[in-house]
Structure 1
Amino acid sequence: MDDSESCILVGYSQQDTPPPGDVGAPPESDEISDIMREVENLRAGRGDVTPQPHLTFPLSPNNLKVLEEKFRDDWFWNEKLHWEYSGLTAEFVIKMLSQPQQVVVSSVGFNIESQFEVFRSASDDKVAKFGQDFYGIGSSHVKPCYEGLLSKRCPDLSWAHWGHSFYPGLVIEVGYSQTRKSMENRVFDYFYGSKGKIKIVISIDLKPSKKSKKASIEMWKSSVRRQGTKLEIDYKLHATSDFRNDDGSPNLDSGVRFTLQEIAPDAPGAEGVGNCFMEITGNKLYEALCRGEKSLAAEERGLKEAQSIEIAPPRHLTLGRAEVMEQYPDLDYQYD
C-alpha cells in the first residue's frame, strides 16, 4: 500500500477526538525535565514494587522530538523503556508492567507461539509455509503514519507476516482499567495509523479493584475498502467477555478466536488458511492472572519482612578513626 494514499475512517467521528495539542501543558522545559527525571529514576531502579499501570505526562509534539534526540543513542531508552506517545491527546506515557501483567503477557505470548508452531509443522505444505512466515515482534514500537500527527504505540505483544506488511497483523495489549475512550484512541492509532494493515487488536483488561475482581478480554478487527485513490478503513469490536467474574470466579466460556487468514489476508497463500483457527481462552488467562497476583503478594510480603528486620552495620563502621586504625592496622581506610 502506497503511503501517499489518503484514508477515510468509516464510522468514526473526528469530533469525538481532541485535536493535537488540545491538552493544557506546562512550559516546554518542565515537560521535558519531568520525563527525564522519571526516566533516570527508572534507570536507577528507584520505584515501587507495585508500580502504577502507567505514568502520563503532557508533552507537545515538538518537545517529543527534542526528547527523542536527547535519548537517541541511549540503550535504556531504546531497548528497556516501554513508552508511548499519543498525538491525539498530546500525552507521553511510560508503561509500567506489574507482576500480574508480566505473567499474563508471558503466558499469552507462549500460548500464541505454541499455536503458530503447530501450523509451522503442519502436514499441509501451504499451511506450514504460511505459518513459518509469521514472526513475533514483541513490544517494539508501532509508528502510525498520520500526516502531520505524531504518535507512537508500544503493544505488549505483536506478530507480523513477511508477505503482509512491516506493520504487525496482530497486536495484543494487557492493561489495567483502560477507559473506553482510551482504548478507542489506541485502536484508532493502530488501525487508522497503519492504513488498515494492523488487522486485529486484542485488549486484556485486568481491572484491579477492591470492590470487584472482574477481568475481561475484547477483540477489535479492521477492514479496508478501496474507493479510487482513497481507502475506507472501518473497525469494530467483534468480541468481548469477562474471563474472571466480580467475585473472582473463572468464566470458562470466555475468550476470543480468529484465523491465520484474518491476521494477514493480503499475504500470498492466505486463501488456504481460512480454517486455521487460533484462540486465547479464558481459563488460561484466569490461571495466568491468579499466578501473577500470588507472585506479587509473595513479593510484597517478602519486602515487608525484609524492612522489619533491623540489620546491624559492620562493626568497623561504628568505630572512630583511631579505633579502626588500631584494630585494622593494614586497612587503607579513608575519612572525609
Structure 2
Amino acid sequence: MQPSLRVTPPQSFRSSPPPTPPPTVKKASDATARIIAKIKARRSGLSSSNEPWVSYPLSEDQYTELTQQVQSDASLRGYVNQDLRHDFIPSVGRLVFRMPTYLHEWVISSVVEEVSRQLRVIGAGDSAAAAFARAVVARGSPTLDFTETGFGRHDPDAQFRHLDAQYPGVVMEVSYSQKQKYTPYIAEDCILGSDGDIRRVVVMDIGYPNSKKATMSSWKPSVVLNEAGELELIAEQTIVDMIFRDEEGNPNPNEEAGLTLQLRDFATETLSGPDLTESIRIPASKLYSYLTEAEKNMAKLKQKQGAVRETRPWVRKRRRLETPPEELDDNREAKFRKIEEKAISQAEKDDSSYKTTPDEEWSLE
C-alpha cells in the first residue's frame, strides 16, 4: 500500500486566524468508512463474524482510497499490513478478509510438509535437479501484490519459491464454499500478475455444503492465439474438480488420481529448464487421509479430549510486570475504545440500509 500525498491549500484560501491544517487524505467515502470500521472491529476482537472467508463489494478506486486511508492511520497500518490476511480481486470487485480455521491449517500444512519432504529427497543428490530442489523453500503466505498492474493483492495459504526467484513457482489454496467461486479469479490474478512466473496454482475444495465431498483443481500459464492472431497469456485450468473424497465420505479408488507437480514448476523458466524431469506426486488417497485426520483431530480438540497435564503444583499464575513503555493511560485508552465502538456502531447502522444482492448477503458481517 502506497503512502498518501500531503496537500496544502493555497494561501488565498486561508482566512484569519488560519484554520487547522487539512488532513493528509480526504474524508473516506461511505463504502470505505464501513470497511475501515470492520477492520477496527477485527483488530479489537469485536467482529461479529468468525467465517474463514468474508467478502465485500469494492471497486478499484475504492480500494485505492481504502489503501490511502489505512496508510495514513498509524494505528491501522501495522495491523492491516502485517496481521490482517486479505485479498483484493479487481476482476470481480471484491475485498476479502481471511481467517483460516484449524481444519484449513491442518490440511494445507500436511500438503506442504509432504511436498517439502519430496523436495528434500530430490535434493539429496549432486545433480542439477538436486541443486534446484535444495533452493526451493516453502514460504507460508507472504503477500503477492499485483495492484499496480491491475491483478489485485493476495495472501495465499501456501507457496513455494526458489531462492533466486521474484515470485513463487507454486501457490496453494484451501477453499470453502464461500471461497470456491473466487478461486479461479485468484489463480488468474496470480498467473497473469506474475507474467506466468507462478507456474502452478493448486486449490483444494474441502467445504461443499451438506456434503463430505472434497476436490482438487489446478491452473497453469499457457500462451494461446486469439482471434486476431495475437499471442495471449492465459491461466489454463488443467485439473477440474478432481474428487479425492466423494459425497458419502469415501476415498477416490483411482490410483492414478492425485496431485503431480513437475520440479520445473517450482520456479520461473529463467531458473528452470526442460532437463528438470523429476516430479512430486501426492496421490488422492493421501489427500483423503490428510483431510480425515484433520477432521478427527479437530473434533477431539473441540470436545476437549486432548491430553493435558494431570498435576498443577503451583498456587497461582503470575503475569510478567509491565515495563514503562507498555503502560497505557487509562483515560486515553477508554477514550480510544469509545471512539472505535462508536465507529463500529455507525457502520452497523449503515449496513442495515446497505443494499446487497442475494449473492452478497452471506458475505457481510
Does the alignment reach a TM-score above 0.5?
yes
Cα distance change of structure 1 residues 180 and 267 upon mapping to structure 2, 3 Å threshold:
same
The 1-side partners of 2:138 and 2:73 are apart by: 26
The 2-side partners of 1:152 and 1:184 are apart by: 14
Q: Which residue of 1 aligns with 2:169?
A: 169
Cα distance change of structure 1 residues 74 and 66 upon mapping to structure 2, 3 Å threshold:
closer
Q: Which residue of 2 aligns with 1:54?
A: 53
Per-residue displacement from partner, 1:56-92 (whole Å, max 9, x unpaired)?
1223233232244146674432332210111222221
1:278 to 264, 277, 280: 280
Q: Which residue of 2 aligns with 1:10?
A: none
Per-residue displacement from partner, 1:33-76 (whole Å, max 9, x unpaired)?
3333333333344568x931311122323323224414667443
SS class of match (2:154): coil
In the TM superposition, residue 106 of structure 1 has moved relative to its aligned partner by: 1.1
Cα distance change of structure 1 residues 99 and 125 upon mapping to structure 2, 3 Å threshold:
same
Q: Which residue of 1 aligns with 2:158?
A: 157
Q: Which residue of 1 aligns with 2:298?
A: 296
Structure 2 spans left out of the alignment, 5+ residues: 1-26, 306-365
Aligned-residue Cα RMSD (Å) equals 3.0
Matches within 5 A, 1:64-213: 64-70=66-72, 74-122=77-125, 124-144=126-146, 147=149, 149=150, 151-163=152-164, 165-177=165-177, 181-210=181-210, 212-213=211-212
The 1-side partners of 2:70 and 2:231 are apart by: 31
Q: How many residues align?
A: 269
Structure 1 spans left out of the alignment, 5+ residues: 1-26, 304-336
The 2-side partners of 1:68 and 1:252 are apart by: 50
Identity within the alignment, %: 26
The 1-side partners of 2:176 and 2:170 are apart by: 20
Q: Is the 8 A contact 2:116 2:137 kept in 1?
A: no
Partner amino acid, structure 2, of 1:31? A
The 2-side partners of 1:32 and 1:265 are apart by: 37
Q: Which residue of 2 aligns with 1:237?
A: 237
Cα distance change of structure 1 residues 57 and 268 upon mapping to structure 2, 3 Å threshold:
closer
The 2-side partners of 1:259 and 1:71 are apart by: 44
Cα distance change of structure 1 residues 39 and 293 upon mapping to structure 2, 3 Å threshold:
farther
Cα distance change of structure 1 residues 238 and 138 upon mapping to structure 2, 3 Å threshold:
same
Q: Is the 8 A contact 1:173 1:204 kept in 2?
A: yes
Q: Which residue of 2 aligns with 1:17?
A: none
Q: Is the 8 A contact 1:61 1:87 kept in 2?
A: no
Instruction: State TM-score, norm by structure 1.
Output: 0.70
Q: Is the 8 A contact 1:133 1:161 kept in 2?
A: yes
Partner amino acid, structure 1, of 2:220? K
Partner amino acid, structure 2, of 1:263? F
Q: Is the 8 A contact 1:201 1:219 kept in 2?
A: yes
In the TM superposition, residue 156 of structure 1 has moved relative to its aligned partner by: 0.5
The 2-side partners of 1:216 and 1:270 are apart by: 30
Q: Is the 8 A contact 2:53 2:99 kept in 1?
A: yes
In the TM superposition, residue 154 of structure 1 has moved relative to its aligned partner by: 1.3
In the TM superposition, residue 159 of structure 1 has moved relative to its aligned partner by: 1.2
